[in-house]
Structure formats: structure tokens, C-alpha cells
Amino acid sequence: MRSFENWPDAQLLAGTEQDPAAFGAWYRRHEREVLSFFRYATRSSELAADLTAETFAAALESIRGYRPELGEARAWLFGIARHVLARSLERGRVENRARAALALPVLVIDDEAIERIEAVSTNGSLAALLAELPPGVRAAVEGRVVDEREYTELADRLKCSESVVRKRVSRGLARLRKRIEEESPR
């Protein structure tokens, strides 16, 4: 069996057509983070699982549209996740279009799966993790990632240079990633 552990995200996505296991490795790499995003946004484990499945199905369906030169694969994935969430909120239900188009089975969530989802999302809740960051770093991460503000705008708002904001965001995200990995059930 091929090991994809050290492959960058863009390489995994590019390799999916030749070896579908590459997408599986990319899915496993980002599943908890996407699940936590939806759990935080919806406060529902079942809905979070459905939205996560639809997000990855939509990503797989549109994988040829990913362009690494336009941004990181993780950002592309979360762009899809935001659109899936917005459509879900707009319609008051989860769209199953991508899963149906790929003929993926209906997702069945048992009590054990719900407990795992809740453990991932409550142990690594975004608000609690952000609160652990130093104030300047937290403001930069919230501004860039949560509020989706431009670096130049954040530099003006935080009264520092754009490069300082970029460094704060980078450090903050690295700390958050490490904490999520530490707290996530294996």
C-alpha cells in the first residue's frame, strides 16, 4: 500500500485521478477540522457529519477545478465548506447533490460517531482555542480567518505592518493546528 503521509495537499489532489487513495489520505488529513468547523457553526453533530460528507463529495466532484497557484488546498476546501453551509442555511436542509452525483451511500450516524464528533468539536472548540492565543495573535487570526479581512486592512486596524500581521496569523494558525492535533481523538 502506498504511503501519502508526506505528500503535500496539492500533490494528493493532483494524484487522485491516478490513485483514489490519495484523496482518502487528503480526506483523513482534513476531516476533523472540517467536522469541527461545521459542529461549531451548527451546534449539531448529525448536521456537522452530513455537511462534512457533502463538502468532501463536492470537493471530489470538482477536484479538476482546484488550482494550486490560486491558493492552498485547505483554503479551497474551506471555501467549499462555507458554500455548503450557506446553501444548507438558505434552504434549511443539507444538500445531497454531490453525494448523489457520485453515487455515495447515505451517511448513517450512530451514537458512537456522534460522541466522536462532539469530542473533536468540544475539545477543540474554536472559541476556546482562540482564547488561548495572545491578544495580538488572536486579533490577527480572527480578522484574517474568521472575518476574512485582507492583510492590509488588518495592518491598519492593528497598527502594525502587513508582514507582522502575516507572521501573527501564521504563528496563531500553527498553534491552533498543534492544539487541535493534541486534543483530537485518534
Q: Taking residues 28-56, what's their average pLDDT?
A: 85
Residues contacting 35, CB < 8 A, separation 6+: 48, 49, 52, 117, 120, 121
Contact 132, 179 (CB under 8 A): yes
pLDDT tens string 108-129:
555 555 555 555 554 445 666 7
What CATH code is assigned to 124-186?
A: 1.10.10.10
Domain ranges in the chain are 1-121, 124-186
**Grid cell for residue 30:** 482534513
Task: Compare 8 and 183 and report the one with higher pLDDT.
Answer: 8
* Cell numbers for 169: 496569523
54-58, 94-98, 143-147: segment of lowest average pLDDT: 94-98
- 162 in Cβ contact with 169 (< 8 Å): no
Residue 80 pLDDT: 93
Q: What is the pLDDT of residues 122-154, one digit of tens each?
A: 444 566 677 788 888 888 888 887 777 888 888
pTM above 0.85, yes or no: no
Whether domain 1-121 has CATH 1.10.286.10 = no
Residue 77 pLDDT class (50, 70, 90 cuts): very high
Q: Which residue has the higher pLDDT, 96 or 19?
A: 19
- The predicted pLDDT at position 38 comes to 85
Nearest C-alpha neighbor of 143 from the set 131, 135, 151: 151
